[in-house]
Amino acid sequence: MNRPGADLHDLLNAQTGRVRWPELARHFARGVVICVSSEKDLVKMAENLVQDQAGEIGRLVEEGALHRAQDHDATRWQQNNTEFWAVVVAPWVLVQEVERFSL
C-alpha cells in the first residue's frame, strides 16, 4: 500500500546527507540555514516546507523546534566543528546537529 506523500518523503530522505560546519558556513552567510531540533524528524520538516504547511511551520517556530540559524549558533558550530544531517529545500538548507555520545 502506498501512503500519501511517500514519493516526496522518499525523495527528500534520499537527498539528506552529513555535512560539517565549514561546508555549511557559506549557506549561513546567505541567511538560508534553518535549524531543526533533535526531537523532530528532519525529513518531515522538509516536507512541511515543500508543501507550504504555513500553520504547522508557524507552530513549530513557536515551540522552538524550527528556527533560522543565528550568529551564536554559527560561533558554537565553528568552535566545535559541528556535524549535521542536512537537506536542501531551495532556497533553504535544513540542518539538525548530529548527536555525539561519549561512552
Residue 39 lies inside a defined structural domain of this protein: yes
What's the distance, Cα to Cα, between the start and end of the chain in Å?
Answer: 41
d(CA 76, CA 72): 6
Residue 1 lies inside a defined structural domain of this protein: no
Check residue 29 and give its pLDDT.
97
Structural domain boundaries enclosing 56: 6-97
Residue 103 lies inside a defined structural domain of this protein: no
The gap from C-alpha 69 to its chain's centroid, in whole angstroms, comes to 10
Contact 28, 74 (CB under 8 A): yes
Cell triple for residue 58? 508557524
Residue 102 lies inside a defined structural domain of this protein: no
pTM above 0.85, yes or no: yes
Amino acid letter for position 67: H
Digitized pLDDT (tens) for each residue of the chain, 103 residues in all: 455 556 999 999 999 999 999 999 999 999 999 999 999 999 999 999 999 999 999 999 999 999 999 999 999 999 999 999 999 999 999 999 997 654 4
Check residue 99 and give its pLDDT.
76
Residue 24 lies inside a defined structural domain of this protein: yes
Interstrand relation of 33-36 and 92-97 (parallel, antiparallel or unpaired): parallel
Could you tell me the maximum CA-CA distance found in the chain, to the nearest angstrom? 47
Residue 57 lies inside a defined structural domain of this protein: yes
What is the count of structural domains for the chain? Answer: 1
